[in-house]
Structure 1
């Protein structure tokens, strides 16, 4: 491994892991001032003194440009000129360090603290508020604006120029793609919505980093680099709803880390007044290899974000377990990130419920039990705050903890370098995210004025409008937005005005002002029609919105549903395919896509799609019901029987007479399944299924008839016992009883015809099978029962002849005569048994 790679590894990790010999060896290849500049940049960067970097005249020479003459072009040109005169590894590394320092300063200003400055000298022709406004505007991408109160936006512009625009010029730097990804992701975090172009950039850079070899090796440093990359990649994909990719990276990280963790139960007490220990959720951690040793916090714990205790007179601050659980297993900070990211993933893909929150709390408490990295502690506390807002006994701590996190950002210690270790591996909130959460907490507690004060202070206009809308004061929201529009007209503000007034003209105005680039404007117009159930009108706007920004999962879903409502099934499939590409666990999207395929007549595809839907949600009876029917259509008869069993497990009972008849026909005629196997092999499984169905549903004539038909089939095949014959007769009798107990069957000619047909079939069945029963007394008993039932049926038909027309009576007369004839034969058989 060469000296430059070791230095780059240190820079990526934010930890000094190179030796002075590495730096000296690099300096020997440098010319003129380059050696001292490289040493200066390395030392300042790894000490977290990022502001010092931009106070150096040599750095100022590279970064000072005129904004109005094209800041990105000028910064790129300065880098190109600097590298062009002597395109050495030293100079490329210097450019990378300057760009990384700018990115770190931007993160310091908006996420981790302490407050930073120094960007005022970057642009020579603009200063103050004007500079800030122009920088924020410059960071807009494809019509997606950034949050307008970000601090020191000039640093992000420098970082983008040096790390993204100049990436191809840094061919000697092994970590250029990694830093380019980080820069693009930070830019995404300050946008008000997800950007498709940044998504593509991030995906490409992550692929390049994954294919690189600079982290090859089995040493501790290589292990740290691999873990950090896997965690960063997982977090990025989770941000874009790509659950499958996120989980894949987490699985790789878990495999690499050589430890297992799972939720389990342990006896303990949660409340002060609890007398008996009960099973409590806890995250059990087991290390496979040797223990991690010499783990120390990155700085004194007094400088970490404070973990405030729970001051409640009932619930304990921590669960008191009867026996010590595996919390003494030491975890490296990267491994804590793995647990925390797994927690966030599970939270995102699970429906909100009390059990889910308890599970998440077990993950978070495990991370908080051993503070090692500032950013991990910060992120874990924020996630706990979000969970505790729903608990009346914990909400007070949540409120205090959120304020404590704001105070931690403002504190002067520790330095920025320590705060930003593992920053990209955690879901650390920005300052405005914390304040937004605090505002939502106030609103949920009914403190509307306090919530509005927070939202107004940080100019979170969407939250302000939402807040006023919820208290039915849209007029105030409108007044605020109109006042802002008097200062500056932007597409985003017109969209907000449309939200406040629900007037589509404002969204149209936003579309025009953005020069037809605002996906937000088209989305709002489309969703306005969608919520009014004007699906045909919604589709063009929704299509245009996803054309401009293809990672709006909610818009793709709305487009798919709208297309289904207007019977545009190819568009419906296209939209839902995009939804499941973004979130493969969206069972509703899979299910709706299957429905579209069914309407298109492509049932084999529908069958495969429904299988994916069931992987996402194994408990939804509606999906299983669709799957059951499609299985029958495509010839997956064994799967059909399994699906029926599953429906009974979920619903308690389920009957489908039509499907039962199909399955009996498959068995009786040996109809081949989708694999070409004759269906006769399914008879034992079908008998088991009908037994389970009839235990829950006792009044379905078709089910009892099909059940009896299976035993009749066994008799015809010569594979039945006396007991089977009795079962057959019993099930046919129950089927007939269910049919004849239908209300007013005797007044409807079709139902009456069906009863008479079944009567004839039942009598024939008795006559053909009664010889199989050797006991004369039992034969007499069965035949007598059938005779009495049929005589009663004929009597009912005769009493209600007046309900039918002469034509209907002509239709029924042959049936009545046929049943009468069979009844006489049964009567004779009964007499022979005496």
Structure 2
């Protein structure tokens, strides 16, 4: 038995029976074969299986008061052989899990129900019906205050799978993998994702080395881990797993360009994005059919064909159905895939198609939201859609294409029709169940209700509110129902619906009859308290005057487990300015579910208002840990670091952060009191922030000031350039922080012009590292700042004088004189007109005249052929002529004496 264990486990994981024909001597083998083939009724009701699903006699009294975990006696082995007994438990867990997937994800309708599987000792449980059992399982699936979707079908199968997978196991090595799959499915039926125990991922790591010899199996493991991380919004980890999956499968792919046409009337071929991809050669690959009527998967027999999910044509008067590429027109002829013809690429293995669809998700995660992202994703999806190999994978590809096309006017019609067709195909039996389940864990296929919800949202975007309302009411998604009524101008109807649900009237009218119940009392006894709490929260959202009472009611009836109630209550207190109460509520909320970014963000803002800097640091650090592309949180974290005051910076705070964009870290006195370690953390946080808020000049201003303070002058120079680019058109010269500009010039000019003069001993400058924040290392960036960014846009006396000092440092005397003269022309003296009466302004202008004359006297002699005396006399004469009204002032004599001196020098 131990020799066949590995083969059976692999068969269960891959969905393909891999053992030989001599295995039928064991009943466990027969059950495993039935599970792989999708015959769940036969497997779950087999005599040997019935021993596992026998309900213990001790549960006969008040059975609904006992958790499902107590119903089964897992400690007593069903078989004498320990390995065989473990395999039986694992096989039945897989059967329950896939039965749950069939009824809620892939279809077609399931031919077995939980009460057909569970075996009771007597007829005392005749009153226990399927709906009551299902509602009990849904209540047990509530996790971290997040309710499971209350219309989930066959939830008992998922609970039974969880119970059976929980072990203990000593011989079956694939159990952690199945636990990963069960955890992923559990997450998908919750309202919001919740924290996953680290052991879920760490337990599958040892499998990586043990299955490394099987590239497809290794690729599947990496892919499923990546999809789980994607669902939890950990984009970086997901991207790493997806790349590891592609490497393990030896999938060759490259996004490149090829000449082609996209419209019917296009005359000239232009470069189009295309994804070149090629699978490695596999022994199991067989002939394929690509005639549009059906297709054959790699694992099916040569005579087994499956009907494709209906693919709607575009039927547009301008756009082509598919981009027409010029044969062999790839833009990169030296590419490793240059031998592929973009217009006729070979079909990919279904597993490689799954990997490409996941990489497509990674493009969406790791790229900003703009048109190029859709173009990139479309190239990945088009490569998969062009060669269907598996019913479920093709369904996922069509769904992704529908999402991409939903935002374009020429494709939105096909997008909606395609999505509707995908929803309607689920109950059909147009393909074998074993095929539908083959790659279901390797793609992010949404559940039936999520797909229907997506269709309703699509209807809403098109203004078809009534159709969307019907779908939401059928799915009993009451929040969306209320939004629909509000969009139709009838919020009172939404409020009435929620009150009817809480009081049981709506259940009596719509649910009791449809579910063949006799009274609403039974329904409400098994009703999930988490869902009741959610309804009270929804009522609080609608009745703002009684919102606090409703949220508190939700908290009480949920037995202090409703994270939604505390989130809503915390937000209410925050909006009222009651920040201490908001902090208390939000800390309870994040303790229940620490994965919700918005709760941490509002908590951080409340802590800032209360000047609880350490609490704000923790909150905003969690924000960026959940979503590292949240520029606002990075900015806020930087602000918190600059306000934490004296003391050492926390060791775990590096590379985390956030702050409100309207708050500037600009107070020089505060920054000086902050420890340097905190300033450095603020600088790193702002450096992350500017990646995601590149066009926000406030963030660049914060970054510039902090960079100056920590000595990163090169980055300060870059920041000042961005500020000028963003603001110069609106505010002119005010966009330049002249203090910062002069400090940058000082950093350059404080070192000798000759680099060798800055080092001691016999070594030369090229043997020493260049500091990018001073001297010649900073010079090029500062010079570009003046010549390419500032001077073409704005001007002021201080800017020209700073530029003149930079030119003086380079001994460019003629250009330096011109810069100083430009500064004088826009200074107070150069712009003073006749009729000026302000003595103080005139006295200041006299000083500027003397200064420019001294500069001409000092620099003019160094420029060959310079007529600096004439320039100086002209400046003095012009200024005297404009300001004769001040002849009685003492400074007037200084001007006349200066004029006489210039005449003598000439």
TM-score (norm 2): 0.80
Deviations 1:653-705, CA, capped at 9 Å, x for gaps? 86221211222233344599x99898333345423322223333333232112
CA contact (8 A) 1:725 1:772 kept: no
CA 1:480–1:665 in 2, change beyond 3 Å: closer, same or farther? same
2:36 paired residue among 35, 46, 56: 46
Could you list the runs of 5+ residues in structure 1 that have no partner in the other structure?
Answer: 28-34, 802-812
Count of residues paired in the alignment: 787
1:810 counterpart residue number: none
Give the whole-Å Cα distance in 1 for the aligned partners of 2:160 and 2:346.
Answer: 43
Describe the SS at the equivalent of 2:75. Answer: helix
Are the equivalent residues in 1 in contact too, given 2:86–2:171 (CA < 8 A)?
A: yes
Matched, 1:582 2:626: yes
Residue equivalent to 2:320:
316
CA distance in 2 between counterparts of 1:475 and 1:581 reads 41
The answer as to whether partners of 2:801 and 2:820 remain within 8 angstroms in 1 is: no
Residues 1:446 and 1:639: Cα distance change in structure 2 (over 3 Å):
closer
1:611/1:82 Cα in 2 relative to 1: closer, same or farther (>3 Å)? same
Q: How far does residue 290 in structure 1 lie from its aligned partner after superposition?
A: 9.5
Match of residue 513 from structure 2? none
Instruction: Tell me the CA shift for residue 393 of structure 1.
Output: 2.5
What is the CA RMSD across the aligned residues, in angstroms? 3.3
1:132/1:153 contact within 8 Å kept: yes
Greater Cα shift, 550-559 or 258-267: 258-267
Deviations 1:546-569 (A, max 9, x none): 111100012222222333344433
TM-fit CA distance, 1:523: 0.9
Deviation, structure 1 residue 349: 4.6
SS at match of 1:662: helix
2:594 to 550, 559, 562: 550
- 1 or 2, which has the higher helix percentage? 1
Distance 1:542 1:823, change over 3 A: same
Aligned to 1:32: none
Task: Quote the residue 1:171 is aligned against.
Answer: 170
Correspondent of 1:775 among 854, 865, 869: 865
Question: Is residue 366 of structure 2 the alignment partner of residue 366 of structure 1?
Answer: no
Query: Quick check: 1:70 aligned with 2:71?
Result: no
Q: Deviations along 1:58-116, whole A, 9 cap, x unmatched?
A: 2122114255252433345x222126x74611110110010111000000000001111
Change (3 A) 1:259 1:131: closer
After superposition, give the CA deviation of every residue in 1:587-621 in whole Å (9 maximum; x if it has no partner).
Answer: 33222212222233321111122223344565654
2:143 paired residue number: 141
> For residue 874 of structure 2, what is the aligned residue in structure 1?
785
Deviates most, 66-75 or 477-486: 66-75
Which residue pairs with 2:685 in the alignment?
609
Distance 1:252 1:118 in 2: 39
Offset of residue 573 of structure 1: 2.0
| Counterpart selection for 1:708 from 804, 811, 821 | 804
- Distance in 2 (CA, whole Å) between partners of 1:513 and 1:747 is 78
Alignment match, 2:133? 131
- 2:9 maps to 8
Against the structure 1 CA distance between its residues 730 and 608, is the aligned structure 2 distance closer, same or farther, given a 3 Å change threshold? same
Tell me if the contact between 1:8 and 1:175 (Cα under 8 Å) persists in the aligned partners. Answer: yes
SS at match of 1:482: helix
- 710, 719, 736: which one pairs with 1:655? 736
Mapped to 2, the partners of 1:595 and 1:344 lie a distance apart of 33
Matching of residues 234-249 of structure 1 within 5 Å: 234-249=226-241
2: CA distance, partners of 1:633 / 1:555: 33
Q: CA deviation at 1:708?
A: 1.6
Confirm or deny: 8 A CA contact 1:705 1:735 kept in the other structure.
Answer: no
Aligned to 2:334: none
Contact preservation (8 Å) 1:305, 1:408: yes
- CA deviations on 1:116-148 (whole Å, 9 max, x unpaired) are 132123454321332222222222123221111
Mapped partners of 2:679, 2:179: distance in 1: 45
Q: In the alignment, which of 695, 698, 704 is matched to residue 794 of structure 2?
A: 698
Provide the C-alpha distance between the structure 1 equivalents of 2:321 and 2:258, rounded to a whole number of angstroms.
Answer: 17
The residue number in structure 2 matching 1:106 is: 100
The Cα of 1:727 is off from its aligned counterpart by 3.3
The normalised TM-score by structure 1 is 0.87
Match of 2:783?
687
Counterpart residue number, 2:509? none
Alpha-carbon distance in 2 for matches of 1:657, 1:444: 49
| Distance in structure 1 (CA, Å) of the matches to 2:473 and 2:383 | 36
Higher mean Cα deviation, 722-731 or 458-467? 722-731
CA distance in 2, matches of 1:793, 1:421: 91
Rounded Cα–Cα distance in structure 1 between residues aligned with 2:240 and 2:603: 29
Of residues 374-383 and 297-306 in structure 1, the stretch that sits farther from structure 2 once superposed is: 297-306
Q: Describe the shift of the 1:439–1:753 C-alpha distance in structure 2 as closer, same or farther (beyond 3 A).
A: farther
What is the CA-CA distance between 1:385 and the residue it aligns to?
1.8
485-494 vs 284-293, which deviates more?
Answer: 284-293
Contact 2:800 2:820 in 1 (8 A): no
Query: Equivalent residues in 2 for 1:663-742 (5 A)?
Result: 663-669=744-750, 679-681=774-776, 682-712=778-808, 714=809, 720-734=811-825, 736=827, 741=831
* Larger mean Cα displacement after TM superposition, 422-431 or 462-471: 462-471
SS in 2 for 1:68: helix
* Counterpart secondary structure, 1:322: strand
What does 1:590-629 correspond to in 2, within 5 Å? 590-600=634-644, 601=674, 602-616=678-692, 621-629=697-705
Q: Which of residues 486, 493, 497 is equivalent to 1:480?
A: 497
- SS of 2:313's equivalent? coil
Change (3 A) 1:353 1:789: same
Structure 2 residues without counterparts, runs of 5 or longer = 289-295, 328-340, 505-523, 645-673, 730-734, 753-757, 759-768
Instruction: Check the 8 A contact 1:215/1:226 in 2, yes or no.
Output: no
Note the 1:377-416 alignment, pairs <5 A. Answer: 377-416=394-433
